[in-house]
Structure formats: C-alpha cells, structure tokens
C-alpha cells in the first residue's frame, strides 16, 4: 500500500508521514497522493463544484493580526462598510447568477451589533429562502453566535490560523488568544452551525510540526469545512518582508486533508489562485470541491486587500462566475446551483 492509500484507509497520519509527503521531491509519490485525493473527492462529490458567493462587507477591524492587510493599524487604505441594502443587492445579483450560499465576511467591525447583523441575516433569509448564509465576522460571544443562529445563519467560517500557542503568539498581538479562538469554534459547533476552520500555509515561523498540530486540532474539531491557502505578504504589514507560502505545499495539504476528512468541504481559495494562476484548478485536482468567487461590489474590492496582488479585484460578479465555470469545465468539473451542504456517509451508502 502506498503512503497515500494508508492515510486514505485509516484517516490518520503520523508526523513522519506528513513530513515525508511535504518534503519529498519524488513525482511518483506526489502524483499518487493527488490521485488518491481526487478519487476520494469524486467518490463523494462526483464532478460537482459548490459555489459560495463571497461578500466582503467591511474592511474595518479592531484587530491587528501581523499578516493581514486590513489590520487596524494600516492607515494606507480607505475604510468601507456595506449597509443592509447594499448587501441585499449583492445577494440579489448573486441569486440571479446561481449562487445559493452567501458568505458575509469582514473585519471585526463594531458597527455590526447583534441587532444589526441579525436584521441583515433575517432579511437575506426572507428574500432568498432557498439560500444558506455563512458568516465570517471573527470572534464574537456565545450569546451573539446564538442570536445569529436563531436569526437564520447556517454556517460560520473562523480559521483557527494555527493550533500552536507559541506560533499563534508570533502571528498576533497579545490582545488575541488561541484559546479564545478555539472556544469560539467549539461554541459555534455546539450551537449547530456548520463550522469552517483552517489556516494559512507557509505563515511566518510555521514548522511542519505546527502543521501536524493543525491536523490534530481539526481531527478534534471535525469541522464541515476546512479553508487553507498560502500566506501572501502585504506591503503595509509587519510581515511585509516575509516570504510567501508555497502553493505546491498548499496543494499537497489539500490532498492530505481530503484523505483525512473525506466528506469535508475544501475550497480552492483565492489566495491559491493568486499564488499560482492555475491554483484554483489545481486545488480541485488535488481534492478540493468548493470555490468562493467574489460578489462584493467592484467599487470596494480593492479595499479588501488582505495580501498583495489579490486576483479578481477588477471584475464584475458575473465575470467571475462565468470565468470560474469555464475554468472548471476545462478540467472536467461543473459548478452547480445548490446550497452545497456537506454530504454525509448515509447519502453515499
């Protein structure tokens, strides 16, 4: 049995196995990993690619993550937020284009009180009852997550960023804590959200042992979705001189995640598409099954610059939709009009 096959059968990996898969130059081993991951994804999701319309609702943030282009202390960008009507307009456009999941993502912006955010969620559900709502608005209280869930939010994305305390401390100021972030993830899960966690590949100071700890944490959390993408530096952050993460390593990790978490929703991220012009296609060929095209108004896209050279910031939502569908057809996959919930073993049996 090959190493990839062993992982596929056991859904387990050891640190030496992870090290071997990430460090090998052997093309046969890498291709075997890719093929097993792709086959696993196809067994469960066929050639379907789920779409999520990403609406970047605010670049105002109280946090100062060292890697992030919209961190509070970056004075070199125009801050914006979208209000309810603008968000609903994005959803309307997205619905016409075939999106059945809307992801509302933003910095930790105090404007979005529970009342305001619940109202927005309520209105989206009222106008688009066939759609799922994903929130990605950072760390909030248990009470807040509870109210948002009651208002109709179905899913929540909150990357844990790194599961190692020391590493977390090297990526964030001391006002932020890994234990709180993990607590949020477990709170969200207990409230019945479909939860997404994840991390950047090649974030500064990351070791393979850190990545192994990420996998162990994910095995503990068992999220519905796992979002990973390469770290890419931003010129107005403390990490401006740090090297970018490797897209090749990111692809291998997507494949490993697919073998460990066969049913997970694994996006081929915009960061991967920025690091490599064919990154999103390759992400799917390495076992991914989700794409998150941008639905934000073109007027604000350049202000949600998390890292330098982010792609698709000049395109209209419809252009992104068409472009991605074509890209998927080219590799034998098709984007589908559906909420794109994770499948369960019962559905496959």
**Is residue 61 within the footprint of ligand FES (CB under 6 A)?**
yes
Positions in 271-290 near ligand SAM (CB under 6 A): 271
70 scored as a contact of ligand FES (CB under 6 A): yes
How many whole angstroms separate alpha carbon 277 and alpha carbon 37?
21
Which C-beta is closer to ligand FES: that of 8 or that of 71? 71
The listed partner (ligand FES, ligand SAM, none) that binds 71, CB under 5 to 8 Å by sort, is ligand FES
In the range 126-165, which residues lie near ligand SAM by CB under 6 A? 136, 138, 158-159, 161
Establish if 65 lies at the interface with ligand FES (CB under 6 A): yes
Considering only 4, 41, 68, 317, the residue that binds ligand FES (CB under 6 A) is 68
Least distance CB 17 / ligand FES (angstroms): 33
Within positions 219 to 258, which residues make up the interface with ligand FES, using CB under 6 A?
none
Does position 308 interact with ligand FES (CB under 6 A)? The reply is no
Minimum distance from residue 309 beta carbon to ligand FES (Å): 17
d(CA 300, CA 323) in angstroms, rounded, equals: 20
From CA 252, how far away is CA 247, in angstroms rounded?
9
Contact predicate 239/42, CB 8 Å:
no
Q: Strand pairing of 334-336 and 48-51? A: parallel
Tell me the C-alpha distance between 41 and 81, whole Å. 37
Minimum CB separation from ligand SAM for residue 10, in Å?
Answer: 29
* Residue 47 or 159 with smaller CB distance to ligand FES: 159
Indicate which single residue of 99, 145, 307, 333 sits in contact with ligand SAM (rule: CB under 6 A): 307
And the tokens for 196?
A: 């997404």
- Residue closer to ligand FES by CB (options 36, 71) is 71
Question: Among residue numbers 105 through 134, which ones bind ligand FES (CB under 6 A)?
Answer: 107-108
Residue 56 interacting partner from ligand SAM, ligand FES, none (CB closer than 5 to 8 Å by kind): none
Give dist(CA 23, CA 264) in Å, integer: 25
* By the rule CB under 6 A, 267 interacts with ligand SAM: no
Of 84-113, binders to ligand SAM (CB under 6 A) are 105, 107-108
| Residue 170 C-alpha from the chain's centroid | 21
- Note whether 13 binds ligand SAM by CB under 6 A: no
In angstroms, give the least distance from the CB of 91 to ligand FES. 22
Nearest approach, Cβ of residue 137 and ligand SAM (Å): 6
Stretch that binds ligand SAM, among 23-31, 85-93, 226-234, 289-297 (CB under 6 A): 226-234
187 binds, options ligand FES, ligand SAM, none, Cβ within 5 to 8 A by partner type: none
Q: Quick check: 157 and 227 in contact, CB under 8 A?
A: yes
Contact residues: ligand SAM, CB under 6 A: 67-68, 105, 107-108, 136, 138, 158-159, 161, 200, 229, 231-232, 234, 271, 306-307
Interface residue list for ligand FES (CB under 6 A) = 61, 63, 65, 68, 70-71, 107-108
């Amino acid at each position: 049995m090959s190493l990839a096959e062993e992982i596929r059968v056991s859904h387990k990996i050891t640190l030496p196995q992870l090290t071997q898969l990430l460090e090998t130059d052997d093309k046969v081993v890498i291709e075997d990993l890719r093929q097993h991951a792709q086959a696993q994804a196809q067994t469960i999701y066929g050639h379907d690619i789920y779409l999520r319309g990403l609406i970047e609702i605010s670049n105002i943030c109280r946090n100062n993550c060292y890697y992030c282009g919209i961190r509070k202390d970056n004075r070199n960008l125009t801050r914006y937020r979208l209000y309810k009507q603008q968000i609903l307009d994005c959803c309307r456009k997205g619905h016409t284009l075939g999106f059945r999941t809307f992801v509302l993502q933003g910095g930790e912006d105090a404007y979005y009180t529970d009342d305001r955010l619940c109202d927005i969620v309520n209105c989206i559900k009222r106008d688009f009852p066939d759609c799922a709502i994903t929130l990605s608005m950072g760390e909030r209280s248990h009470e807040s997550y509870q109210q948002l869930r009651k208002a109709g939010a179905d899913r929540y994305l909150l990357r844990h960023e790194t599961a190692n305390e020391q590493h977390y401390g090297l990526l964030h100021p001391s006002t932020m804590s890994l234990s709180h972030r993990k607590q949020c993830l477990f709170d969200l899960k207990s409230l019945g959200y479909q939860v997404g966690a994840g991390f950047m590949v090649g974030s500064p100071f990351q070791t393979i042992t850190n990545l192994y700890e990420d996998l162990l944490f994910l095995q503990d959390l068992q999220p519905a979705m796992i979002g990973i993408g390469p770290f890419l530096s931003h010129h107005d952050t403390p990490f401006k001189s740090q090297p970018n993460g490797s897209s090749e390593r990111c692809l291998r990790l997507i494949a490993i995640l697919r073998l460990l978490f066969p049913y997970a929703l694994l996006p081929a991220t915009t960061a991967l598409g920025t690091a490599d012009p064919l990154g999103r296609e390759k992400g799917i060929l390495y076992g991914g099954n989700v794409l998150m095209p941008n639905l934000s108004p073109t007027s604000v896209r350049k202000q949600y610059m998390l890292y330098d050279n982010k792609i698709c910031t000049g395109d209209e939502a419809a252009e992104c939709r068409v472009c991605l569908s074509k890209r998927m057809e080219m590799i034998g996959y098709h984007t589908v009009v559906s909420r794109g919930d994770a499948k369960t073993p019962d559905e496959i049996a």
